[in-house]
Amino acid sequence: MDSAYKPEDYVRIEQLLHYPEKLQERLSGIEDTSEISIPKDPIEKVIFQNRAKSSIRKIAQNRGHILMVGRPGTGKSLLANMFQEVLDRSMGEYLRPKCAIAAYPGKDKNHVRFAYENPEKLEQRITSVHHAIEDAGNSMDEFSLAEEIKSVKKIRNGLLLATLATAIGGVFYPAAFIATGITGIGAIFMIMQENNHKAQEKIQRENSDSRRVAVKHLQDQVPEVLYDPRKDKDLMARISEPNARNMKGGFRHDPYQSSNLQTPAHKRAYLGAHAKAPIIYIDELKTMVKVGYMSDLLEIMQNKEYVLEGGRDTGSGAADRSETSLHADNIIIACCNHDTLQYLQDEGDGAFLSRVEDKGEIVQMESAVPESLETTLEVAQYIKQEVENLGKAFMGAWKDVIDSEGYDGVRKRSGVIFGRALPSDYTLKERDFSRNAIMEIVKELRCCASEGKLTALLRPFNGIIKTAELEAILENSPLVEARHVRYAMDEHLSLEGAIAKEVMEHKKALKKYISAITDSIGYVVGLAVISSRSSGRMFGHPLPIHCQVNAGGADVVTAPGKLGDIAKAAAQNVRASIKKVLKTIGAPYVGYEMHVEYIQVHGGVEGDSASVAMDIALISDFIKQPVTQKYGVTGSLTGDIILAVGGVTEKVRSIMDIDLGMEGACVPWQNMQDIEPLLVNAHCRYIQKDDIPGVRIYRTEGENDPFDVYFCKTKYNAYKILMGLDKAEVEDRITQRSRKDLLFIQRMKNPSLDDSQKAKAA
């Protein structure tokens, strides 16, 4: 049989062993991150996104729009912040609004007018109006009945004198007492009238502030300043949930709707981002799609102005409206994921995308970039930036303690936090990363991608870098070393990572139990991964698979359990592949029922990366050949060819744990570059079994505990490694099994046939 491998293929595998040297060479110019300088240009602080950075610069030049499409953690928000900083430093004084926005009463109580005016002059004018109204209120006479009280007093006094005089005269002339009675009654009446006027004056002064009521109408006519550019320093408004209220503005509810105390519409108006911010950053476009604000945004982007309207169907403010338009010449920076992009392409024939492309660009954020000298140095720069950020965070949290107690106080208080005494030379200060630690970060970035690329989903690595920093600080190490990064990788797990860790412990026991109690016929150790949607990290684990082939049943393949469509299609593909082998070698075919079982996979399986494992397990049961349980296998089977799959690095790494008892793995030839990260900081050498090349990785010091990885091009390469059989041997045993099955079925159908007749029928 001709080999599937060419001479240059073996050279390529040997070149894999030089990957750690190449990585060392790329970082040869630095011993640690203290030798790295952070660029002054804010945009250059974002790594791996050269196309997006180029687009940002062009858009900053012509004030266009930009839509960044990519997975979370690729740097969309960071780029938006850097875009604002660059524009602020270059064109900030020209972009920042110069005029204040004032609201004036409109033609009736439900209408307002807007005006753009110089803020200083507007402030002076409003202040002078307020002073004038205050003076007008103070100049009004206080409510008084003094004149009425004065005249009543005069009459009262006259009547009292007349009463006294007639009383004296009555002593001599008794008839005068009649006049005394009349004048006395009149005096009493006037006293009552005086008290009535005083009470009325007091009531009016206490309960009816006539000056305030008199000037309220004037106060309601004073314009309201809705936006003052002197008080707003940011060029960019960050909107996480865009809707009509925070994007356009509106009118607040009036709690004083009754009597004569209504708040006028222009004093209840407020402005949104369109009217105030030169740049609007919409963090997640999906939320705008959900609230239905897209049509409003499209109109404003087209007209660059809008009319402010009440946003509610009922209640105060529903009928409010502006008579004049507000300017809205905004630069729109929006972010979304690929699912939202699909909606935008369908909605209105891509109207929003058309608006963006008219004056800007739609940028696809990189989710992975090729590993090169440039990108490797960018990783080092990124680590340095995070180290500096951590240093600033330390100073922000401990500045008061450092100023008052020094670093010795920090050490004592940190000892309380960690629950143990810390060394006397302990200092809570950021540590730079050594070259080997940088290599570990590069290694992990490679593990989260494929095809020799580095993942651009960097957000999860912020926590990993910080965890490694804190571990080095607690250890009081002068630098962050590779062991600190490895510790951080184990500790800093996402939710999926924690689940994968539990699954891995379960799979260890399950795999050992199956290996110890079965004959290994029809059993194979597949490899699977759990992917984290939030972080992009993958966590591998072994996937035991058991298959059976029964003759004389229905010609079907059964794969019970929660299998996805791709996994079911892969099972059918394996069945078709086996039937093709039988036809190719001319073996007699009878109906076969093929049963595929993913052992204790309760959460379901999706993908075709187990199709090679299924094929091997089915063939193993078909020809009754044991499969070694010390090797795992992964790959997508198409005919006889094994194609690349995802997550190979993590799949292989998951079974390299010495306690699991695994000794190697078979991976697709096309995934050879995914093994490179596993060679970092490890001893390894080239190996070959027959014509199948591979790499041996030593898991412990002194070249102990070898782990062999073989690169398979066809399923027959995997047969050789896992079952020790070549193509001819497998095909011969398949033929023998199919003839036996045919003979068995013939005897079942017609027991009277002799052996010669059965042979002739066969």
CA angle 297, 300, 303 (to 5 degrees): 150
d(CA 541, CA 576): 28
**CATH dotted code for 498-739:** 3.30.230.10
Mean pLDDT taken over the chain: 82
What is the helix (H) or strand (E) element at residue 746, kind and residue range?
helix 727-749
What is the helix (H) or strand (E) element at residue 378, kind and residue range?
helix 373-418
The pairing of beta strand 631-633 with beta strand 523-531:
parallel
Alpha carbon 712 to its chain centroid, in Å, reads: 38
Mean of the pLDDT values across residues 490-511?
Answer: 64
- pLDDT at residue 495 is higher than 70: no
Ranked by mean pLDDT, the top range of 399-408, 479-488, 747-756 is 479-488
d(CA 549, CA 670): 30
- pLDDT at residue 339 is higher than 80: no
- pLDDT at residue 8 is higher than 60: yes
Question: E strands of 449-537, at which residues?
Answer: 453-455, 479-480, 523-531
Q: For the chain, what percent of residues have pLDDT higher than 70?
A: 83
- The CATH superfamily of 81-132+225-364 is P-loop containing nucleotide triphosphate hydrolases (3.40.50.300)
- pLDDT at residue 506 is higher than 90: no
Overall fold of domain 31-48+368-491: Helicase, Ruva Protein; domain 3 (1.10.8)
Mean of the pLDDT values across residues 413-433?
Answer: 84
pLDDT of residue 138: 65
Q: For the chain, what percent of residues have pLDDT higher than 90?
A: 17
Is residue 442 a contact partner of residue 422, using CB atoms and an 8 Å limit?
A: no
pLDDT of residue 761: 46
The pairing of beta strand 326-327 with beta strand 368-370:
unpaired
Ranked by mean pLDDT, the top range of 62-76, 236-250, 312-326, 622-636 is 622-636
Cβ neighbour number for residue 690 with a 10 Å cutoff: 11
What is the helix (H) or strand (E) element at residue 758, kind and residue range?
helix 755-761
Of 118-127, 495-504, 589-598, least confident by mean pLDDT is 495-504
Mean of the pLDDT values across residues 568-575?
Answer: 68
Pick left, alpha or beta for residue 111 (phi over 0 → left; psi -120 to 50 → alpha; otherwise beta): beta
pLDDT of residue 178: 79
Is residue 216 a contact partner of residue 65, using CB atoms and an 8 Å limit?
A: no
Contacting residues for 608 by C-beta, under 8 A, at least 6 apart: 566, 567, 569, 570, 573, 636, 637, 645
